Structure 1
Amino acid sequence: MAIQQTKVFVEDLQRGMFVSRLDRPWTRTPFALQGFYIRDLEEIRQLQKFCRYVYVDVVKTVGDVGVKLRKITRAAESAAKDTPTQTTPRSIPVAINCKPVQVRHNSYAPPEPVRKEASKARQLHEHIVLGMHQVMVQLQANQPLPTAQVNHTVSQMVDSVLRSPDAFSWLARVREKDEQTYSHSVRASVWAVVFGRHIGLRRQELVQLGVATLLKDVGKLYLPETVLKAEKRDPRAELEYRKFVDYSVKLLSSDPNIDRHVLTIVQCHKEQYDGSGYPKGLRGGQIPVLARMCGIVTYYDEATNPRGAEFPVPPSRAVAQLYELRDSAFQEQLVVEFIQSIGLYPTGTQVELSTGEIAVVVEQSHQRRLKPKVMLVTDAQKKLLAKPRLFDMAADDDRKLALVKKGKKSLAEVGLITITQDMDPSRYPAIDVARVRDQYLYEQRLPAFVARFLPPRLSS
């Protein structure tokens, strides 16, 4: 039998069915990760609180319902072969109606050097954090939102990201020791604008997306602390938690100066591509493009900065999790574009080089994403260096390939250096990424380390 699992809407669930997959990640529900048999009506009620549909293992399902499911799926397979254009049965997943997003790469000038923009970006970042603090204080005091201030600051951030995406990416990637509870929204807003720049959104759309992503969680102020900070929510607590979207929309819509597009993004950012999101269960093209983008950056930042974790998660792991959700929670085209926008190794990422050394990515090469500028922080034996040293991977490649082109060395002799993997920050807690950032971006004198540790015969 080709079909091993079939889609079943929660109102059609019956005892004896084996639930093998949900319409959302298992970790967002209280259910067992390995799947489970439905044994009583209470389990069905719980599934109805969390899901619109689930996937049922046809082979494992027992009893009369198992026999019926196997007959239905066999009939569906046969019908699909004989009349492929006929209406798809309800129990079989159907295609999601959604037009491709119009993407305009290279809509903006090539990025300026990150050091040139770094100081401006840091000041703007501080203004955004202070602005979010003011937003929270005024909301708690039932005072009007400082909408004009937020719009102005985000507008300046957009201009900064248009000049140099890496400058703000640094500030989003590095977790500070004194982070505030709203730091997630600030980081996600940065990722959103970087993402939007990459696909060529108009400046006005970038501001709308940045403001919405920054303010999307203001309704969480009205959630009970027990619900907001719970590591694992039962069905009732999860339903209570989901109300934050409506609270956010209500708070923001009370301001006559708020952009209507911002409200729409906030209202729809928790909707999911396959219809499994909330609050309305929109799917595919029913979800505005900017809201789909907001959902992706929200997920990515939560994946890289898990609640309560001491260290951020390696970008490759978060990207893998995001990619697994393509065309289920998120539109595949936008997932791929987002990954391209941040690169496999965003600034601030700890990486291992093919030489065995550990380095921190300090600036992207936007034409050669796999060859960024890095700061070497350990030697090949993983011993911390007394002072990090700058290494431009793209420039090193160019120098070595020039020797090969002139016939002075073979490709094997020059030994092109590559990134082998990104590193889990918890493996080397002594590496102070924030210190590396400050040394690269803000200190006046820094040795331009490009030649690297090469034997004398290869350095000429």
Structure 2
Amino acid sequence: MAIQQAKVFVEDLQRGMFVSRLDRPWTRTPFALQGFYIRDMEEIRQLQKYCRYVYVDVIKTVGDVGVKLRKLTRAASEQAAAAPVGRSSRRVPVVIDCKPVQIRHATYAAPAPARGEAAKARHLHERIIRGMHEVMVQVRSDRPLPTAAVGQVVTSMVDSILRSPDAFSWLARVREKDEHTYSHSIRAAIWAVVFGRHIGLQRTQLMQLGMATLLKDVGKLYLTDELLKASKREPREELEYRRFVDYSVKVLSSDSNIDQQVLTIVQCHKEQHDGSGYPRGLRGGQIPVLARLCGIVTFYDEATNPRGAEFPLSPSKAVAELYGLRDSAFQGQLVVEFIQSIGLYPTGTQVELSTGEVAVVLEQTYQKRLKPKVMLVTDADKKLLAKPRVFDMAADDARKQKLVDKGKKSLHDAGFITIAKDLDPGRYPGIDVAAVRDQYLFQRRIPAFLARFIPQSQP
């Protein structure tokens, strides 16, 4: 079988090559995860800045360089086949039967600006909180669940996210002071629908996925607080904890209005790709696709918002944990797609720019995920700005690229600005991300920190 990838040192990179892997975790670089074609020298310079070598997809590489790579790798493959079989090569890899999920990235229209959808999203979000509070009250009192009302608000949430994913993503990113109502299940449901929109799920599937993710943990109400909050559990305690899945299914199945697909997602969302999950130890293709999605967003939200932590984790750390579990706990293809759906720097992420300034990501640029719209909140010396301002990185890039194309500036002199890294929330206590969100989305005048946030468009 022909080799699909070739290791290429960065000094040998050429236009037309398709870079599929790097020599280091991609979260330590500004590059997209799923790979990209090298189109110009600037991309090669960026790769040379961060990597010693990369892996190039031989099949996807185009032009003369693609022809040469395919010849070279074909020859290497033939030599490997003719070589004596060593002891280490006799190991038979474990094959997990799991077909790729069909992805339809262009199913929905381009997202609308978050500002236009923000008020509706906040209103819906408040309705979801009230609905979840009512669900918990009803479960504790063994009364019928208000699933019809919850279903209506989930439908509205799906439609809102279809219009503008960033508006609801803001509500999932920022942790409010009242964590009892701003629950993990609500955040996970938002990520689930954003994820489903990205891969082109049908609207009905999005509603099933959102409903299941929102209600998947109702069975935890039957567990003791000590069991829920324990950082480590003895084997017997872990078995008891895992029963929450069965409890959730039992509670939901008592309602004749609950969609069977919702029950299936809830029952299977803790199963894992390699069969190490629970309650039935399903693996690979045995796990329903929507349950796989639910499992990924559940892990991501638990990683970004660990129980008992004062601050959530930075997205890059959570993504690194998730990426490390690809093709073991989770299907690798879906891990990649999820990370692409939320972006390397989701809304609300605190980032340090190549200029040294600190900013908060306001909104994604869906054509250029590494160049979002941000609000600059400190100068290069990390001092809070008196008047923080909105900075559109993609628009700034386009303006500078025009100068380069016209020969008025070189690539070096143009001063392209990049995101150097994301920051742990709480790194700079003076930055109030919730205040940034409210000022940007809702344009309200509020005192103290918010009073200084007067967005100014970048010329």
Q: In the TM superposition, what is the alpha-carbon distance from 1:136 to its structure 2 partner?
A: 0.3
* Secondary structure of the corresponding residue to residue 426 of structure 1: coil
Does the CA contact (< 8 Å) of 1:248 and 1:266 recur in 2?
A: yes
Say if 2:447 is the partner of 1:449.
no
Gaps of 5+ in 2: 1-84, 446-453
CA deviation vs aligned residue, 1:245-298 (integer Å, no higher than 9, x gap): 000000000001100000000000000000000000000000000000000000
Q: 8 Å contact 1:357–1:376 — kept in the other structure? A: yes
Note the C-alpha offset of 1:388.
2.0
Show CA shifts across 1:141-167 (max 9, x none): 111010111110000000000000000
What pairs up with 1:286-435 in 2 under 5 angstroms? 286-435=286-435
For 1:59, the equivalent position in structure 2 comes to none
1:111 aligns to what? 111
Give the distance between the partners of 1:352 and 1:294, measured in 2 at CA.
31
Question: What is the one-letter code of the residue matched to 1:426?
Answer: G
**Partner residue in 1 for 2:143:** 143
Q: Indicate the SS of the match to 1:448.
A: coil
Equivalent residue for 1:29?
none
Q: Which residue of 1 aligns with 2:98?
A: 98
1:388 match: secondary structure: strand
How far the C-alpha of 1:80 sits from its partner, in A, is 7.0
1:324 is displaced (CA, Å) by 0.4
Q: Which deviates the most, 379-388 or 293-302?
A: 379-388
- The TM-score with structure 2 as length reference comes to 0.78
The amino acid of 2:323's aligned partner reads Y
Counterparts in 2 of 1:410 and 1:182: CA distance versus 1, 3 Å: closer
> Do the aligned partners of 1:388 and 1:436 also contact (CA within 8 Å) in 2?
no
1: CA distance, partners of 2:438 / 2:340: 26
User: Aligned partners of 1:283 and 1:340: how far apart in 2?
Assistant: 24
Q: CA deviation at 1:231?
A: 1.5
Tell me how many residue pairs correspond in the alignment. Answer: 367
Task: Give the alignment of 1:136-285 within 5 angstroms.
Answer: 136-180=136-180, 183-285=183-285
Aligned-partner Cα distance in 1 for 2:120–2:222: 34
What is the Cα deviation at residue 447 of structure 1?
Answer: 3.9
Instruction: Kindly report structure 1 stretches of 4+ aligned residues shifted beyond 6 Å.
Output: none
In structure 2, how many angstroms separate the alpha carbons of the residues matched to 1:448 and 1:149? 41
Query: Contact 2:353/2:420 (CA < 8 Å) preserved in 1?
Result: yes
Deviations 1:396-430 (A, max 9, x none): 11111122222222222220100000001121122
- What is the CA-CA distance between 1:356 and the residue it aligns to? 0.1
Following the alignment from structure 1 to structure 2, what is the Cα–Cα distance between the partners of residues 221 and 105?
A: 37
The unaligned stretches of length 5 or more in structure 1 are 1-75, 82-87, 452-460
Q: State the Cα distance separating 1:181 from its structure 2 match.
A: 5.7
Residue 426 of structure 2 aligns to a residue whose secondary structure is: helix
How far off its partner does 1:94 sit? 2.1
What is the SS of the residue equivalent to 2:362?
Answer: strand
Is the contact made by 1:132 and 1:182 (CA closer than 8 Å) also made in structure 2? no
Q: How far does residue 185 in structure 1 lie from its aligned partner after superposition?
A: 0.2
Q: State the identity %.
A: 74
Cα deviations across residues 84-128 of structure 1 (Å, max 9, x unaligned)? xxxx8xxx6520001110111110000001100011001111111
- In structure 2, give the amino acid aligned to 1:372: P
> Once superposed, what is the RMSD of the aligned Cα atoms?
1.6
* 1:202-255 alpha-carbon deviations (Å, 9 max, x no partner): 000000000000000000000011111111111111111000000000000000
Cα distance in 2 for partners of 1:403, 1:305 equals 43
Asked if the contact 1:113–1:164 (Cα under 8 Å) also holds between the matched residues in 2, the reply is yes
- Supply the distance in 2 between the matched residues of 1:353 and 1:135 (Cα, whole angstroms): 43
